Amino acid sequence: MTANWHRILGLLVAVLVVGLGSGCDQVAPDELGTGQRPLVSDVVLQPDSVRAADLRPDQVQDSLAQIPLVIAAGITDPDGEIERVVFTIEPSTNPRGTASGALEPQEENVYARQVGLQVPVDVNEVYTVRVFAVDDDSLESNQGVGQFRFIPEE
């Protein structure tokens, strides 16, 4: 009876292996979502630094400097379309004090936006700007990084 039991067990294992293998959904390789991620390059901030001494009086309100900051980046996606491009601005002394928004398409592979950055006039601060993109396959790009510096009066 032991030999028959081994044959039945072997047959049962073979049926299970074949059954499990054929029961899986078969997906063609091009449907696996193996697309290429977008690429962020050349993050440019204009200006990249401002001295408080160079501000016009109308740019300072309630101890905050109003800085018109242009954020621009080169964005490419080798196999799809860019759905959105997002930026964050983080002060080095308070990374949780983050501002964010979206960049808009300007010309081929260039996204940009002017933002009104408000910074304390008496704090020497470096602001890190991070830019990333998401494509039509919902793939996220690398992060492009730039820095802006505010220099208070001495």
CATH number for the domain running over 31-151? 2.60.40.2550
Residue ranges per structural domain of the chain = 31-151
Q: For the chain, first and last CA: distance in Å?
A: 96
Q: Express each pLDDT in 13-57 by its tens digit.
A: 333 333 434 444 343 344 555 689 999 999 999 999 999 999 999
Which residue from 116, 114, 118 is spatially nearest to 150, judged by alpha carbons?
Answer: 118
Instruction: Please give the DSSP secondary-structure letter assigned to residue 143.
Output: P
Q: Which pLDDT score is estimated for 32?
A: 52
CB 129 within 8 A of CB 145: yes
